[in-house]
Each structure stands twice: as C-alpha cells, then as structure tokens.
C-alpha cells in the first residue's frame, strides 16, 4: 500500500492531537456551557441554533436506514430524522441527554466509536458539529469506513473552522454572549474544543473514502461560509484496516 505509506506522515502524523488546557474557571462551567450552546438558551446561541439547522436538514435529507450518530449530545438532531429503522448514538457525557424525551428513540448508546461491535453495520453514519472536536479524528473515519454497509453513507455537518466569516460570526454572537454571561474569553474555549479545521476534516474524509462531496452555507467558499456539509461514499476499507492495525487499535 504505497499510497498509504506515502501519505501517512504528511496527513496523519499530527494525530492524535493534544487539546490545549482550559483554565480552572473555564473547566468549572464547561458542561453547562456545552448544554447552553446545544439548547439555544440565550439570543446569541438561539441565533446559532437557527443557522445550524442547515446542517441538521442536510443530514436528515438522506432519510431512513440504520443510523449511528457520532457525538449525539443532547439528542437535538433526532427531531429532524424520519423513517429510521434503528438509531444508535455515541456520546461520552450521559448528563447531556439524561432526561431527554428523545432517549427512548435510541437503541444503543456508546461512549466511544471503539465500543460499537465490529460486526454491526449502518446505512448512515452521521455527525453534526462534532468532527472539529475530535483529537483522534483519523480513528473515527477509519472505524466509520468499516462500520458502513455496502452503499452506505458517511454524513457530517461542520463549522467552517479556518474561514474568515466563521471566525467573525462566533466572536460577535456566542463569544460575546459568553463574555457577558461569564466574564471569560470564549476564544480560549474555542481553541480547546475546535482542534481540527474544516480543511483537515475534508482531507481525512478523502483519505478514507473514494467519493467525497462538499456543500457550504451560505456561499460556496471557505471564507464566505458558516458551515460545511460533507458526504462520503465508497469507504476504502483496506486502508482503514491498515491504519487501525498500525495504530494497534
């Protein structure tokens, strides 16, 4: 697998990444801040939620099948889905979804993609505003490639991290509201949470899948978009297996 070996250091050598630490004050409110952002509890985060619906709707447009959601959080995506046969979720923080009325719609919940049985198969593996957070993103892509059915689809919505419009948008909305509410710098939280750029996510998708399609909102340019929608098809299973073997995973 010469192409795999040649690409290994340049594309994958930065992983797993080390997440920049949070200050004690930031750590103390970390989970609550995540819940507020997911649920849109103030005008700024509510505005972000309205924009994020573009990602949810793009993902849910590919209806039905057996679905695995990576990073399900408060289960806020489920209301967009219709006609699903079975729905599994990966979410390490059970406090985010505990008490949610959507929980009864979930078949199985895992804390990490490594816990998903290797003989389980999905028609769609999805994520919304999650891949930018993962310190070991290649493992997520590799395992997803092996868990998809023939003809299956990997779908993701991600912020346009690394783009100018996205940077301006969060500073003037969520970032400003966060400072007014807590007196803390939201930039510190973003550096801690968003460890991957949109370009890195796309590059890894193209490494582990033969066909990758990208859509951006509202304009089709990185620096003039808030969000990306990614579809990946035809997983390179041999490459995924080889990568996991090299990582002894």
pLDDT tens digits, residue range 182-226?
999 999 999 999 999 999 999 999 999 999 999 999 999 999 999
Q: Which pLDDT value is given to residue 50?
A: 84
Nearest to 127 by CA among 33, 227, 225, 223: 227
pLDDT at 4 over 60: no
Q: Which pLDDT value is given to residue 182?
A: 92
Q: Which pLDDT value is given to residue 36?
A: 65
pTM to 2 decimals?
0.91
Strands 65-70, 109-110: parallel, antiparallel or unpaired by DSSP? unpaired
The highest-confidence range among 35-39, 98-102, 164-168, by mean pLDDT, is 164-168
**Whole-angstrom Cα distance, residue 55 to residue 155?**
10
Segment 108-136 mean pLDDT: 97
| CATH number of the 2-246 domain | 3.40.50.150
pLDDT at 157 over 80: yes
Q: Which pLDDT value is given to residue 2?
A: 52
Q: Which pLDDT value is given to residue 32?
A: 76
Percentage of residues in the chain having pLDDT higher than 90: 78
**Predicted confidence (pLDDT) per residue in 17-52, tens digit:** 999 999 999 988 887 777 666 665 565 566 677 889
Question: What phi, psi does 227 have (nearest 5°)?
Answer: -140, 155
**Size of the chain, expressed as the number of residues it contains:** 249
**Whole-angstrom Cα distance, residue 156 to residue 134?**
13
């Amino acid at each position: 697998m010469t192409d795999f070996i040649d690409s290994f250091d340049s594309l994958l050598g930065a992983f797993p990444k080390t997440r920049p630490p949070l200050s004690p004050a930031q750590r103390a409110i970390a989970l609550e801040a995540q819940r507020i952002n997911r649920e849109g509890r103030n005008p700024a985060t509510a505005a972000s939620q309205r924009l994020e619906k573009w990602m949810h709707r793009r993902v849910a447009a590919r209806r039905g099948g057996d679905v695995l959601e990576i990073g399900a959080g408060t289960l806020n995506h489920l209301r967009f889905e219709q006609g699903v046969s079975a729905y599994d979720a990966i979410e390490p923080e059970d406090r985010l979804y505990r008490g949610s009325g959507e929980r009864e719609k979930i078949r199985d919940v895992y804390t990490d993609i490594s816990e998903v049985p290797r003989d389980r198969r999905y028609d769609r593996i999805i994520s919304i505003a999650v891949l930018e957070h993962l310190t070991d993103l290649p493992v997520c892509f590799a395992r997803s490639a092996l868990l998809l059915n023939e003809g299956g689809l990997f779908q993701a919505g991600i912020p346009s991290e690394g783009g100018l419009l996205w940077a301006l948008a969060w500073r003037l909305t969520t970032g400003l509201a966060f400072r007014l509410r807590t007196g803390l710098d939201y930039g510190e939280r973003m550096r801690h949470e968003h460890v991957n750029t949109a370009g890195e996510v796309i590059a890894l998708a193209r490494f582990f899948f033969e066909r990758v399609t990208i859509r951006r909102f509202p304009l089709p340019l990185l620096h003039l978009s808030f969000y990306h929608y990614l579809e990946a098809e035809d997983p390179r299973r041999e490459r995924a297996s080889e990568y996991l073997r090299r990582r002894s995973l």
